[in-house]
Amino acid sequence: MSHYLAERWVDFVRGLLSEEERAAMKRHLDEGCEPCRREMDVLQAMRNFARVEAGAEPPADAVRMARAIYVPPPRPEGALRRLMVRLVFDSFAEPAMAGVRQSGAAGQQMGFEAGPYYIDLRLQGEPDSNRVALAGQIVRREEPNVAMQGLIVALQAGRKVVTETVSNEFGEFSLEFFAGKNHRLRISLPQEGIEVIVPFDARPEGGPEAA
């Protein structure tokens, strides 16, 4: 008996499959494939645990005690305070339409929140190439008309700075680089005394294409 790959069971438990493929995989389980049943059960348990954890809140007394105990180390003079970044949108994580597969024909769009800022990134792979074009914008969520020109935007691979640019008055910027993992954008706002680090993987493949 053949088996489905783990990636397909991940999509199964996340509800990202078409009705036809989901029905086929359910029939596969009903036919008695124990290895696939065990893999699906483990992934389903992990997803259920993640859902519960996402809504868990520590006791208020414990939070107050932790804040009272913890003393942050002093920042070096002149160092920028780093804002925590949260991914709020990823087009690659959206369910694909039935009869649609992933390919490099379309790009990837991601949205991040960092304090009062919103960072929008759009990545597009070049045909028959490992190069990626990145277009981005950083704006204040509550004050989108505030000028954001002159911000230093550096692309890093690990600790190495690959390339850098500066934003225009609308907070827009663009870069080109080779696809790979463990990339991050370092956006410096020296007048605010802060910086934003945005981690991501640049993949040349991935967007919707009709099957």
Going along 126-202, which residue ranges are E strands?
131-140, 152-157, 160-166, 172-178, 180-189, 194-202
Unique residue bearing structure tokens 């597009």? 124
User: Which one-letter DSSP state was computed for residue 53?
Assistant: H
Backbone φ, ψ for residue 100 (5° rounding): -120, 135
Pick the CATH number of 78-210 from 1.10.3470, 1.10.10, 2.60.40, 2.60.120: 2.60.40
Q: What is the pLDDT along the chain (211 residues), one digit of tens a residue?
A: 688 888 899 999 989 899 999 999 999 999 999 999 999 999 999 888 887 776 777 787 777 777 667 655 655 656 788 898 999 998 887 655 455 444 445 688 999 999 999 999 999 987 778 889 999 999 998 888 888 999 999 999 888 899 999 999 999 999 999 888 888 999 999 888 899 999 887 665 544 333 3
Query: 89: which strand partners?
Result: 111
- Is residue 169 within 8 A of residue 148, CB to CB? The reply is yes
The runs of H, that is alpha helices, within 16-156 are 19-30, 34-54, 60-69
Considering the chain, tell me which residue range(s) the CATH 1.10.10 domain(s) occupy: 1-71
The fold of the 1-71 domain, in CATH, is Arc Repressor Mutant, subunit A (1.10.10)
Q: Which ranges in the chain are annotated with CATH 2.60.40?
A: 78-210
DSSP code for 91: G
Q: How many CB atoms lie within 10 A of CB 32?
A: 9
